[in-house]
Amino acid sequence: MKAVIITEPGGPEVLEVHDVEMPQIGELEVLVEVKAAGVNRPDVFQRKGNYPAPAGVDARIPGLEIAGIVVAKGKDVVDWAIGDRVCALVAGGGYASYVKVYQGHCLPIPDHLGFAEAASLPETVFTVWDNVFRRGKLQADDHFLVHGGAGGIGSTAIQLATLFGAVVYTTVSSSEKASFCKSLGASKTINYKTEDFLEALKPLGVDVILDSIGGSYFEKNINLLNPDGRLVYINAMESARVELNLLKLMQKRIVLTGSTLRARDREFKQVLRDDIWSQVWPKLSAGDFKPTLYRVLPFAEAAEAHRLMEDSSLLGKIVLSF
Protein backbone atom coordinates (compact mmCIF):
# COMPACT_ATOMS: atom_id res chain seq x y z
CA MET A 1 0.00 0.00 0.00
CA LYS A 2 0.97 3.67 -0.22
CA ALA A 3 1.87 5.53 2.95
CA VAL A 4 3.40 8.85 3.93
CA ILE A 5 6.44 8.06 6.03
CA ILE A 6 8.90 10.04 8.13
CA THR A 7 12.21 9.27 6.45
CA GLU A 8 14.16 10.92 9.29
CA PRO A 9 13.44 13.49 12.01
CA GLY A 10 13.28 16.97 10.52
CA GLY A 11 11.21 19.51 8.61
CA PRO A 12 8.16 18.88 6.43
CA GLU A 13 10.40 17.82 3.54
CA VAL A 14 11.23 14.52 5.30
CA LEU A 15 7.69 13.28 4.61
CA GLU A 16 7.67 11.04 1.53
CA VAL A 17 5.24 8.61 -0.08
CA HIS A 18 6.58 5.04 -0.03
CA ASP A 19 5.27 1.55 -0.66
CA VAL A 20 4.90 -0.35 2.63
CA GLU A 21 3.36 -3.63 3.75
CA MET A 22 -0.36 -3.82 4.46
CA PRO A 23 -1.28 -4.05 8.15
CA GLN A 24 -2.44 -7.41 9.47
CA ILE A 25 -5.61 -7.23 11.55
CA GLY A 26 -6.27 -9.04 14.79
CA GLU A 27 -9.41 -10.81 15.93
CA LEU A 28 -11.03 -7.62 17.28
CA GLU A 29 -9.79 -5.25 14.58
CA VAL A 30 -11.13 -3.98 11.28
CA LEU A 31 -9.14 -3.03 8.19
CA VAL A 32 -10.21 0.36 6.87
CA GLU A 33 -9.52 1.59 3.36
CA VAL A 34 -8.57 5.17 4.19
CA LYS A 35 -10.33 7.87 2.20
CA ALA A 36 -9.10 10.79 4.33
CA ALA A 37 -6.78 11.37 7.30
CA GLY A 38 -6.76 14.31 9.69
CA VAL A 39 -3.58 16.31 10.28
CA ASN A 40 -2.84 17.29 13.88
CA ARG A 41 -0.10 19.04 15.79
CA PRO A 42 1.13 15.78 17.40
CA ASP A 43 1.92 14.62 13.85
CA VAL A 44 4.31 17.57 13.57
CA PHE A 45 5.93 16.70 16.91
CA GLN A 46 6.36 13.09 15.77
CA ARG A 47 7.92 14.22 12.49
CA LYS A 48 10.46 16.25 14.43
CA GLY A 49 11.33 13.26 16.64
CA ASN A 50 9.68 14.70 19.77
CA TYR A 51 6.63 12.45 20.10
CA PRO A 52 7.47 8.74 19.97
CA ALA A 53 4.78 6.29 18.89
CA PRO A 54 3.45 3.80 21.46
CA ALA A 55 4.71 0.22 21.43
CA GLY A 56 3.32 -1.79 18.55
CA VAL A 57 2.68 1.23 16.34
CA ASP A 58 4.72 1.85 13.16
CA ALA A 59 6.66 4.98 14.11
CA ARG A 60 7.37 5.80 10.47
CA ILE A 61 3.76 6.60 9.60
CA PRO A 62 2.06 9.54 11.38
CA GLY A 63 -1.68 10.09 11.60
CA LEU A 64 -4.08 9.83 14.54
CA GLU A 65 -7.50 9.95 12.88
CA ILE A 66 -8.97 8.56 9.68
CA ALA A 67 -12.19 8.04 7.76
CA GLY A 68 -12.92 5.34 5.23
CA ILE A 69 -14.63 2.04 4.46
CA VAL A 70 -14.35 -1.24 6.36
CA VAL A 71 -12.93 -3.78 3.88
CA ALA A 72 -12.07 -6.66 6.24
CA LYS A 73 -12.70 -7.60 9.86
CA GLY A 74 -11.36 -9.96 12.47
CA LYS A 75 -13.35 -13.06 13.35
CA ASP A 76 -14.58 -11.64 16.68
CA VAL A 77 -15.67 -8.22 15.39
CA VAL A 78 -19.40 -7.70 15.99
CA ASP A 79 -19.81 -3.91 15.81
CA TRP A 80 -19.02 -3.39 12.12
CA ALA A 81 -19.69 -4.98 8.74
CA ILE A 82 -17.69 -4.87 5.54
CA GLY A 83 -18.77 -1.79 3.60
CA ASP A 84 -19.49 0.37 6.66
CA ARG A 85 -18.38 3.99 6.49
CA VAL A 86 -16.46 4.78 9.68
CA CYS A 87 -14.16 7.34 11.18
CA ALA A 88 -11.74 6.28 13.87
CA LEU A 89 -9.12 7.24 16.39
CA VAL A 90 -5.80 5.48 15.81
CA ALA A 91 -2.52 5.54 17.73
CA GLY A 92 -0.58 6.06 14.50
CA GLY A 93 -0.42 4.94 10.88
CA GLY A 94 -3.25 7.17 9.63
CA TYR A 95 -1.35 8.62 6.66
CA ALA A 96 -1.76 5.40 4.67
CA SER A 97 -4.06 3.73 2.15
CA TYR A 98 -5.15 1.18 4.76
CA VAL A 99 -5.08 1.12 8.54
CA LYS A 100 -6.09 -1.42 11.15
CA VAL A 101 -8.38 -0.18 13.91
CA TYR A 102 -9.66 -1.75 17.12
CA GLN A 103 -13.42 -2.10 16.70
CA GLY A 104 -14.14 -0.06 19.83
CA HIS A 105 -12.40 3.04 18.47
CA CYS A 106 -14.59 3.46 15.37
CA LEU A 107 -17.65 5.67 14.94
CA PRO A 108 -20.23 5.65 12.12
CA ILE A 109 -20.07 8.50 9.62
CA PRO A 110 -23.41 10.34 9.45
CA ASP A 111 -24.96 10.20 6.00
CA HIS A 112 -24.63 13.94 5.36
CA LEU A 113 -20.85 14.03 5.97
CA GLY A 114 -18.11 13.28 3.46
CA PHE A 115 -14.94 11.40 4.31
CA ALA A 116 -12.81 14.55 4.63
CA GLU A 117 -15.23 16.07 7.13
CA ALA A 118 -15.43 12.83 9.10
CA ALA A 119 -11.63 12.45 9.20
CA SER A 120 -11.34 15.82 10.92
CA LEU A 121 -13.36 14.70 13.95
CA PRO A 122 -11.96 11.82 16.07
CA GLU A 123 -8.73 13.26 17.52
CA THR A 124 -10.24 16.63 18.41
CA VAL A 125 -13.60 15.35 19.64
CA PHE A 126 -12.03 12.61 21.80
CA THR A 127 -9.57 15.17 23.24
CA VAL A 128 -12.15 17.86 23.94
CA TRP A 129 -14.78 15.53 25.36
CA ASP A 130 -12.33 13.88 27.74
CA ASN A 131 -10.57 17.04 28.90
CA VAL A 132 -13.28 19.70 28.88
CA PHE A 133 -16.36 17.69 29.81
CA ARG A 134 -15.02 14.73 31.80
CA ARG A 135 -11.91 16.11 33.47
CA GLY A 136 -12.93 19.78 33.43
CA LYS A 137 -16.56 18.95 34.33
CA LEU A 138 -17.94 21.76 32.17
CA GLN A 139 -21.58 22.48 32.96
CA ALA A 140 -24.30 24.60 31.39
CA ASP A 141 -23.83 28.30 32.25
CA ASP A 142 -20.14 27.83 33.14
CA HIS A 143 -17.77 30.43 31.72
CA PHE A 144 -15.21 28.58 29.59
CA LEU A 145 -11.94 29.82 28.09
CA VAL A 146 -10.09 27.91 25.39
CA HIS A 147 -6.73 29.27 24.31
CA GLY A 148 -6.14 29.24 20.56
CA GLY A 149 -9.74 28.92 19.44
CA ALA A 150 -9.16 28.91 15.68
CA GLY A 151 -7.33 25.56 15.45
CA GLY A 152 -8.75 22.06 15.40
CA ILE A 153 -9.01 21.61 19.16
CA GLY A 154 -10.19 25.17 19.72
CA SER A 155 -12.88 25.16 17.06
CA THR A 156 -14.22 21.86 18.37
CA ALA A 157 -14.16 23.07 21.98
CA ILE A 158 -16.00 26.28 21.11
CA GLN A 159 -18.79 24.46 19.30
CA LEU A 160 -19.31 21.70 21.85
CA ALA A 161 -19.13 24.00 24.87
CA THR A 162 -21.66 26.33 23.28
CA LEU A 163 -23.98 23.46 22.36
CA PHE A 164 -23.93 22.23 25.95
CA GLY A 165 -24.84 25.67 27.31
CA ALA A 166 -21.54 27.24 28.41
CA VAL A 167 -20.46 30.83 27.80
CA VAL A 168 -17.31 30.61 25.68
CA TYR A 169 -14.27 32.90 25.46
CA THR A 170 -11.15 32.36 23.41
CA THR A 171 -7.76 33.86 22.61
CA VAL A 172 -6.74 34.44 19.00
CA SER A 173 -3.95 36.15 17.04
CA SER A 174 -5.90 38.02 14.34
CA SER A 175 -9.21 39.65 13.53
CA GLU A 176 -9.88 36.93 10.93
CA LYS A 177 -9.55 34.26 13.62
CA ALA A 178 -11.73 36.30 15.95
CA SER A 179 -14.54 36.40 13.37
CA PHE A 180 -14.18 32.68 12.74
CA CYS A 181 -14.43 31.84 16.45
CA LYS A 182 -17.46 34.07 16.91
CA SER A 183 -19.16 32.30 14.00
CA LEU A 184 -18.71 29.03 15.94
CA GLY A 185 -20.30 30.41 19.10
CA ALA A 186 -17.62 32.26 21.07
CA SER A 187 -19.16 35.22 22.87
CA LYS A 188 -15.85 37.07 23.33
CA THR A 189 -12.46 36.84 21.66
CA ILE A 190 -9.20 38.35 22.88
CA ASN A 191 -6.35 39.09 20.49
CA TYR A 192 -3.39 38.11 22.66
CA LYS A 193 -1.04 40.19 20.50
CA THR A 194 -2.76 43.44 21.45
CA GLU A 195 -4.66 42.64 24.66
CA ASP A 196 -3.99 40.88 27.99
CA PHE A 197 -6.54 38.06 28.36
CA LEU A 198 -6.34 38.24 32.16
CA GLU A 199 -7.31 41.91 32.23
CA ALA A 200 -9.98 41.42 29.56
CA LEU A 201 -11.70 38.48 31.25
CA LYS A 202 -11.15 39.11 34.96
CA PRO A 203 -14.38 41.13 35.31
CA LEU A 204 -16.34 38.27 33.69
CA GLY A 205 -14.84 35.34 35.59
CA VAL A 206 -13.93 31.94 34.20
CA ASP A 207 -14.84 28.49 35.56
CA VAL A 208 -12.93 26.18 33.17
CA ILE A 209 -9.80 26.80 31.09
CA LEU A 210 -8.41 24.51 28.38
CA ASP A 211 -4.77 25.42 27.72
CA SER A 212 -2.11 24.06 25.38
CA ILE A 213 0.39 26.88 25.88
CA GLY A 214 1.73 26.59 29.44
CA GLY A 215 4.64 28.87 30.30
CA SER A 216 3.61 32.46 31.02
CA TYR A 217 -0.07 31.60 30.61
CA PHE A 218 -0.06 29.41 33.72
CA GLU A 219 -0.04 32.10 36.42
CA LYS A 220 -2.56 34.18 34.49
CA ASN A 221 -4.86 31.18 34.23
CA ILE A 222 -4.64 30.61 37.99
CA ASN A 223 -5.35 34.29 38.69
CA LEU A 224 -8.26 34.34 36.25
CA LEU A 225 -10.15 31.28 37.50
CA ASN A 226 -13.15 31.62 39.77
CA PRO A 227 -13.20 29.74 43.09
CA ASP A 228 -13.60 26.00 42.39
CA GLY A 229 -12.32 26.58 38.86
CA ARG A 230 -10.76 23.85 36.74
CA LEU A 231 -7.54 24.29 34.75
CA VAL A 232 -6.92 21.58 32.14
CA TYR A 233 -3.69 21.11 30.16
CA ILE A 234 -3.34 19.17 26.91
CA ASN A 235 0.03 20.59 25.82
CA ALA A 236 2.72 23.06 26.90
CA MET A 237 3.95 24.65 23.69
CA GLU A 238 5.62 27.63 25.39
CA SER A 239 7.06 25.75 28.38
CA ALA A 240 6.19 22.81 30.62
CA ARG A 241 8.02 24.30 33.61
CA VAL A 242 5.98 26.76 35.66
CA GLU A 243 5.80 28.11 39.21
CA LEU A 244 2.72 27.53 41.32
CA ASN A 245 1.61 29.42 44.42
CA LEU A 246 0.06 26.58 46.40
CA LEU A 247 -1.71 28.96 48.77
CA LYS A 248 -3.61 30.49 45.87
CA LEU A 249 -4.50 27.01 44.63
CA MET A 250 -5.87 26.10 48.06
CA GLN A 251 -7.64 29.40 48.69
CA LYS A 252 -9.50 29.23 45.38
CA ARG A 253 -9.94 25.42 45.54
CA ILE A 254 -8.69 25.10 41.97
CA VAL A 255 -8.53 21.70 40.29
CA LEU A 256 -5.39 21.40 38.17
CA THR A 257 -5.38 18.52 35.72
CA GLY A 258 -4.37 17.47 32.23
CA SER A 259 -3.89 14.47 30.01
CA THR A 260 -2.50 12.97 26.85
CA LEU A 261 -4.62 10.60 24.79
CA ARG A 262 -2.42 8.65 22.42
CA ALA A 263 -0.86 6.22 24.88
CA ARG A 264 -4.05 5.46 26.84
CA ASP A 265 -5.16 1.83 26.74
CA ARG A 266 -7.80 0.67 24.30
CA GLU A 267 -10.41 0.04 27.00
CA PHE A 268 -10.20 3.68 28.12
CA LYS A 269 -10.58 4.87 24.53
CA GLN A 270 -13.56 2.59 23.97
CA VAL A 271 -15.37 3.96 27.02
CA LEU A 272 -14.63 7.45 25.75
CA ARG A 273 -15.87 6.46 22.27
CA ASP A 274 -19.11 5.13 23.75
CA ASP A 275 -19.68 8.39 25.64
CA ILE A 276 -19.05 10.45 22.50
CA TRP A 277 -21.36 8.23 20.44
CA SER A 278 -24.22 8.80 22.89
CA GLN A 279 -23.59 12.45 23.78
CA VAL A 280 -21.95 14.14 20.77
CA TRP A 281 -22.93 12.07 17.74
CA PRO A 282 -26.66 12.96 17.95
CA LYS A 283 -25.70 16.65 17.69
CA LEU A 284 -23.39 15.87 14.79
CA SER A 285 -26.09 13.85 13.01
CA ALA A 286 -28.58 16.68 13.53
CA GLY A 287 -26.19 19.20 11.99
CA ASP A 288 -25.82 21.21 15.21
CA PHE A 289 -22.10 20.42 15.44
CA LYS A 290 -20.17 20.81 12.19
CA PRO A 291 -16.62 19.90 11.14
CA THR A 292 -14.51 22.95 10.27
CA LEU A 293 -12.26 22.21 7.29
CA TYR A 294 -9.50 24.65 6.40
CA ARG A 295 -7.81 22.73 3.59
CA VAL A 296 -8.07 19.29 2.01
CA LEU A 297 -4.86 18.22 0.28
CA PRO A 298 -3.87 15.08 -1.64
CA PHE A 299 -1.92 12.72 0.62
CA ALA A 300 1.16 13.16 -1.56
CA GLU A 301 1.21 16.79 -0.37
CA ALA A 302 1.58 15.89 3.30
CA ALA A 303 4.67 18.09 3.55
CA GLU A 304 2.62 21.12 2.51
CA ALA A 305 -0.06 20.16 5.04
CA HIS A 306 2.59 20.22 7.77
CA ARG A 307 3.89 23.60 6.57
CA LEU A 308 0.36 24.98 6.85
CA MET A 309 0.02 23.48 10.33
CA GLU A 310 3.24 25.12 11.49
CA ASP A 311 2.29 28.44 9.91
CA SER A 312 -0.49 28.70 12.52
CA SER A 313 -2.78 30.65 10.20
CA LEU A 314 -5.31 27.84 9.88
CA LEU A 315 -9.01 28.15 10.67
CA GLY A 316 -10.14 24.67 11.63
CA LYS A 317 -8.69 21.38 10.40
CA ILE A 318 -6.33 20.25 7.64
CA VAL A 319 -7.10 16.88 6.04
CA LEU A 320 -5.25 14.61 3.63
CA SER A 321 -7.34 12.95 0.91
CA PHE A 322 -6.59 9.46 -0.37
* Runs of H (alpha helix) within 66-151: 115-119, 122-128
User: Residue 109: pLDDT above 80?
Assistant: yes
User: Residue 180: pLDDT above 90?
Assistant: yes
Domain housing 185:
125-258
Q: Tell me, what DSSP letter sits at residue 96?
A: B
Phi, psi of 57 (to 5 degrees): -110, 135
Query: What gap in Å lies between CA 106 and CA 8, rounded to an integer?
Result: 30
CATH number at residue 53: 3.90.180.10
Domain boundary among 258, 284, 309: 258
- Binned at pLDDT 50, 70 and 90, residue 263 comes out as confident
For residue 160, the model assigns a pLDDT of 98
CATH number at residue 133: 3.40.50.720
Query: What gap in Å lies between CA 277 and CA 121, rounded to an integer?
Result: 12
For all residues of the chain together, what is the average pLDDT?
96
Three-state DSSP at 101 gives strand
User: Residue 75: pLDDT above 90?
Assistant: yes
Could you tell me how far CA 266 lies from the centroid of its own chain? 17
Burial of 97 (0-12, 13-18, 19+ CB in 10 A): middle
For residue 311, the model assigns a pLDDT of 87
Average the pLDDT over 147-155 and give the result.
Answer: 94
DSSP codes, 16-82: EEEE-PPPPP-TTEEEEEEEEEEE-HHHHHHHTTSSPPPTTS-TTS--SEEEEEEEEE-TT--S--T
157 and 43 share a domain?
no
Give residue-wise pLDDT tens across range 42-74: 999 999 999 888 888 899 999 999 999 999 999
Average the pLDDT over 109-133 and give the result.
Answer: 98
111 and 22 share a domain?
yes
Quick one: which of 101, 100, 103, 125 has its CA closest to 38? 125
Average the pLDDT over 166-170 and give the result.
Answer: 98
Residue 306 and residue 15 in contact, taking contact as beta carbons nearer than 8 Å: yes
Give residue-wise pLDDT tens across range 275-320: 999 999 999 999 999 999 999 999 999 999 999 999 878 899 999 9
245 and 150 share a domain?
yes
Give me the number of domains the chain comprises: 2
80 and 181 share a domain?
no
Query: What gap in Å lies between CA 99 and CA 268, rounded to an integer?
Result: 20
Average the pLDDT over 187-201 and give the result.
Answer: 96
89 and 108 share a domain?
yes
45 and 131 share a domain?
no
Domain boundary among 258, 293, 309: 258
Phi, psi of 216 (to 5 degrees): -70, -15
Average the pLDDT over 70-87 and give the result.
Answer: 97
Residue type, 319: V
Average the pLDDT over 174-188 and give the result.
Answer: 96
